[in-house]
Amino acid sequence: MRLFLIGTTLLALAACSPTNETPDNTAPDNSNAAIDNAAAAANQSGAVNYVSEIENMSETGKQGVFLGAIRDANISCSDVTKVERLPDEQGVPTWRAQCDQGEQHLIQVQPDGSARVTSRTNP
């Protein structure tokens, strides 16, 4: 089992979402430090519901988040082709992600935004 913090990834993906705001010709602060600080602040205030953020993503968004979690767990996967929500395990939201080579991984998202990736080992 391996852990991966997906909070920063979710915030980065949310930053890519189109908005209805009118541009004011000022340059946005897209530095990694600003994103990390926003994630830390949201974590401390408890304002981010990571499970809700994932559930509200498009299928492509979910595939991208879980691909990042799998790769950060040092598991080889070139693309996630399918994501399936499973029943919670011991109260922890759980998904199954399938890589393009057919490997499947269980991913549990903790309230703090960390993800536990569990893969079946081959004999």
| Domain residue ranges of the chain, discontinuous segments joined by + | 2-14+31-119
pLDDT of residue 120: 74
User: Which one is predicted more confidently, 33 or 67?
Assistant: 67
Q: How far apart are CA 6 and CA 115, in angstroms?
A: 7
How would residue 105 be classed by pLDDT, with cut points 50, 70 and 90?
Answer: very high
pLDDT of residue 111: 83
DSSP code, position 30: -
pLDDT tens digits, one per residue of 80-101: 999 999 999 999 999 999 999 9
Q: How far apart are CA 118 and CA 105, in angstroms?
A: 6
Q: Are 2 and 113 in contact (CB under 8 A)?
A: no
How would residue 48 be classed by pLDDT, with cut points 50, 70 and 90?
Answer: confident
Q: Are 96 and 86 in contact (CB under 8 A)?
A: yes
Residue 14 tokens, joined: 């949310």
On the question of pLDDT at 18 being above 50, the answer is no
**What burial letters (b/e) apply to 28-44, b meaning 16+ CB within 10 Å?**
eeeeeeebeebbeebbe
pTM of the predicted model, to two decimals?
Answer: 0.62
